[in-house]
Amino acid sequence: MLKPLSISGYLCMVGGLVALIATHNVLSPSPFAIVPQALAVALMLWARVTFGRRSFHLAANPTEGGLVTTGPYRFIRHPIYASVCLFTIASVAAHGGWTTLALGALVMAGALTRIFCEEKFLKMRYPEYSKYAAQTRRLVPFVF
């Protein structure tokens, strides 16, 4: 049940982002959008470099190589999802409108679905994950 749910979360994230791009509601000349989006891209790159040469899985199941707790993973458990959310929030804030808001909500719902599925997989795979989870936040340091 978790794998199909995590795949649907992925499809929501990708579908929402593709729709935002198709409707020209992603990039904005406003520095209030550019700065958070640039930070989101930097966070994603930092997380990918830290994560290493591991492959991406369509389902949110863990990869080989152990639990990653360095780099941005020291502060938040899901920095890649956090970067997608930050990028999307900046897009929605810059463009407004019901369609953009609905697409942003779709991306966020997909990310949250993936996070909760992935955490269940990680708890099953890595016994030390519960301790790590108790010391870090999911998306926003010190908040959530």
Domain membership flag for residue 143:
no
Say what the pLDDT of residue 57 is: 72
- CATH code where residue 16 lies: 1.20.120.1630
Domain membership flag for residue 69:
yes
Using pLDDT thresholds of 50, 70 and 90, give the confidence band for residue 58.
confident
Domain membership flag for residue 13:
yes
**CB-based contacts of 125: which residues, under 8 Å, 6+ apart?**
62
What does the alpha-carbon distance between residue 110 and residue 13 come to, in Å, rounded to a whole number? 5
Please compute the mean of the pLDDT values over residues 27-33 and round it to a whole number.
90
Domain membership flag for residue 93:
yes
Say what the pLDDT of residue 2 is: 84
Assessment of whether the complete model's pTM goes beyond 0.75: yes
Q: Is the pLDDT of residue 64 over 70?
A: yes
Domain membership flag for residue 6:
yes
Domain range enclosing 22: 2-52+65-135
Please compute the mean of the pLDDT values over residues 75-88 and round it to a whole number.
95
Domain membership flag for residue 144:
no
Domain count, the chain: 1
